Chain A
Amino acid sequence: MPANDDRKGVPRRDFLNVAVGGSAAALAVAGAYPVVRYLAPPPGRSKGVVRVGELERFPVGTVHTVLVDERPVLMVRTADRLRAFSAICTHLDCVVAYSAERRQIECPCHGGVYSLDGRNVAGPPPRPLEELTVTVDEGVVLVSPAG
């Protein structure tokens, strides 16, 4: 049989190269995909309503930091109500703190400032602090993620 150079269609060598190469690439992608997904876990489920303590723990005019689902939350007690704000700065995720001197919430990382009602009033933060829902049930304070 003569060499198959002059036959029509795809040469056998090219066909095999593409078939083997393509199969190898497909295998590599199939192997890499689960790894890529494994490296970055999905968001965990929120525990829903979290009990943060008795109402007496938060006297009028004070700001406390509590943990809700491992996340810091500011409990702001004013004359008329108790509010909860995520203590995570909306700029770059630092943990903010209450300054009793200046009566405002401050982020030490990049100089962001929030008022006691969570509004971003100075510095780089683009949004107000996220507010969480507070309910008081028979003297016990419960916090649940907003929305």
Chain B
Amino acid sequence: MSTGDWLADRLGWTRVEAYLAKRSVPRHGFMFYVGGITLFLFLVQVASGVLLTLYYQPDAAQAHGSVERIVGEISYGDLVRAVHVWAGDLFVASLMLHMFIVMARRSFRAPQELTWLSGIALLALGVGEAFTGAVLPWSERACMDARVGSELALYVPLVGAWLRRLMRGGEDVTSNTLAHAFGFHVAALPAALTFVVAVHLFARSRNRAGSAGATDVPTIPLYPDFFVRLAVALTGVMVLVLTLAIFVERPIGPPADPRLSSALGLPPWYFLPMHAIVRAVPGELLGIDGPRFLVSAACVIGLAVVALPFIDRRGSRLTAWLAWIALLALILVSVRAIT
């Protein structure tokens, strides 16, 4: 008996294979693979992130230097950091794209409410990872984004003051902010993400039949057909991540100095719409603080998105249109902020 046969026998592989082959999934285009791609990018982040913790120092005096050391001295450190930065951006992008696609396909309808809710939780956790991760190099830029991001959080109704203290590890942006960001970035948020991913996949697999509209779409077996296609898609994603990591530089920027004025420039791309709107809105709007008005509006929209399966029970065409219009508007506002 070969080693492969022995392992297959001990694992009961033939039964697993038979079970997977019996399950089928609708045959869709690229959009059906975005969820799988997002999960894959999360795994890339876990792997590259664990490697980074081996040299990163979560201390205000040493953080910036330790990131420079990873990039400058450690063998392949520049590659590991660049993969983490790029795959992180792509992770957030694919989380958002995944949400818009589900909205547009109206796949949030009953019985997929739990899938939708856990998906929105994943989006929130993913953005939390991006926000805390951006703080860790403790550069000028990092400090400023931490300041503005947490100050905006102050305007969240009811829990604002608590949320700002949570994000800063105190009233102000200090060395404690970095310690907090590190703990959340490498421990609390990844643990929560792992748990919610499990809930998300479980909820999804339980109610496959009710999703994606019509039942007369052609299907393919989960294994090997779907897995092979997914493998091709993931290979493509890995090629994209490596290409970006090798050829497009992501500078660390100068270290933070609390006396220096905040750096000019732009926040990470996923904050660009908020940045552009914040800049354009005056100090007061309809008698309310400008930022308070904006953040409250964002919270209302956020709640509506969370409650979408309960507001739009049947999945109207309007929601699909709104999804594409919202995506287009966000892209246009972002482009305006850059140019």
User: B278 near A92 (CB under 8 angstroms)?
Assistant: yes
Kindly state the separation between the CA atoms of A40 and B172 in the bound complex, as whole angstroms: 12
Chain B, 169-180, contact with A by CB distance < 8 Å: what is the 0/1 string?
111111010000
- The one of B163, B165, B278 in contact with A110, judged by C-beta atoms closer than 8 angstroms, is B278
Determine the chain A residues whose CB is within 8 A of the CB of B263 once the complex forms. Answer: 108
User: Could you tell me which residues of chain A, from 32 to 57, have a CB within 8 Å of some CB in chain B?
Assistant: 36, 39-44
Kindly state the separation between the CA atoms of A100 and B15 in the bound complex, as whole angstroms: 77
Determine the chain A residues whose CB is within 8 A of the CB of B302 once the complex forms. Answer: none
Determine the chain B residues whose CB is within 8 A of the CB of A72 once the complex forms. Answer: 258-259
User: A124 near B144 (CB under 8 angstroms)?
Assistant: no
User: A97 near B261 (CB under 8 angstroms)?
Assistant: yes
- The one of A66, A67, A107 in contact with B262, judged by C-beta atoms closer than 8 angstroms, is A107
Q: Is A142 an interface residue (CB 8 A)?
A: no
Determine the chain A residues whose CB is within 8 A of the CB of B289 once the complex forms. Answer: 126
Kindly state the separation between the CA atoms of A115 and B281 in the bound complex, as whole angstroms: 21
Kindly state the separation between the CA atoms of A71 and B177 in the bound complex, as whole angstroms: 14
User: A95 near B151 (CB under 8 angstroms)?
Assistant: no
Q: Is A119 an interface residue (CB 8 A)?
A: no
CB closest residue in chain B, given A98: B261
- The one of A40, A43, A87 in contact with B162, judged by C-beta atoms closer than 8 angstroms, is A40
- The one of B150, B163, B169, B283 in contact with A91, judged by C-beta atoms closer than 8 angstroms, is B283
User: B166 near A40 (CB under 8 angstroms)?
Assistant: yes
Q: Is B152 an interface residue (CB 8 A)?
A: yes
User: A91 near B144 (CB under 8 angstroms)?
Assistant: no
> Total A-B residue pairs with C-beta atoms closer than 8 Å?
86
Chain A, 53-90, contact with B by CB distance < 8 Å: what is the 0/1 string?
00000000000011100111000000000000001000
Determine the chain A residues whose CB is within 8 A of the CB of B144 once the complex forms. Answer: 94-95, 109
User: A92 near B151 (CB under 8 angstroms)?
Assistant: yes
Q: Which of A40, A70, A123, A125 has most chain B Cβ within 10 Å?
A: A40
Chain B, 239-267, contact with A by CB distance < 8 Å: what is the 0/1 string?
00000000000000000001111111000
Q: Is B148 an interface residue (CB 8 A)?
A: yes
User: B283 near A95 (CB under 8 angstroms)?
Assistant: no
Query: Interface extent on B, as a size class?
Result: 20 to 34
User: A95 near B152 (CB under 8 angstroms)?
Assistant: no
Identify whether the interface residues of A are mostly helix, strand, loop, or mixed.
Answer: loop
Q: Is B284 an interface residue (CB 8 A)?
A: yes
Q: Knowing A70-B258, A110-B279, A126-B289 are in contact, say whether A94-B147 is a contact too (CB < 8 A).
A: yes
Determine the chain B residues whose CB is within 8 A of the CB of A43 once the complex forms. Answer: 165, 170-171
For residue A2, give the distance in angstroms from its CB to the closest CB of chain B.
41
Determine the chain A residues whose CB is within 8 A of the CB of B151 once the complex forms. Answer: 92-93
User: B147 near A41 (CB under 8 angstroms)?
Assistant: no
Kindly state the separation between the CA atoms of A93 and B152 in the bound complex, as whole angstroms: 9
Determine the chain A residues whose CB is within 8 A of the CB of B260 once the complex forms. Answer: 65, 95, 97
User: B148 near A109 (CB under 8 angstroms)?
Assistant: yes
CB closest residue in chain B, given A127: B283
Kindly state the separation between the CA atoms of A147 and B261 in the bound complex, as whole angstroms: 25
For residue A73, give the distance in angstroms from its CB to the closest CB of chain B.
9
For residue A5, give the distance in angstroms from its CB to the closest CB of chain B.
34
Q: 20 more A-B contacts (CB under 8 A) besides A92-B148, A94-B261, A124-B279?
A: A36-B162, A40-B165, A43-B170, A65-B260, A65-B261, A70-B172, A71-B172, A71-B258, A91-B283, A91-B290, A92-B291, A93-B147, A94-B144, A94-B147, A95-B147, A96-B261, A109-B262, A124-B290, A125-B283, A126-B290
Give the A-binding residues of B (Cβ under 8 A).
144, 147-148, 150-152, 162-163, 165-166, 169-174, 176, 258-264, 278-279, 281-284, 289-291
CB pairs A–B below 8 angstroms (28 shown): A40-B162, A40-B163, A40-B166, A41-B165, A41-B169, A41-B176, A43-B170, A44-B171, A65-B261, A66-B259, A67-B259, A71-B172, A72-B259, A87-B261, A93-B147, A93-B150, A93-B151, A94-B148, A95-B144, A95-B147, A107-B261, A108-B261, A108-B262, A109-B148, A110-B279, A124-B281, A125-B283, A126-B289
Q: Closest 9 interchain pairs by CB?
A: A97-B261, A40-B165, A93-B151, A126-B283, A94-B262, A40-B166, A92-B151, A93-B147, A43-B171
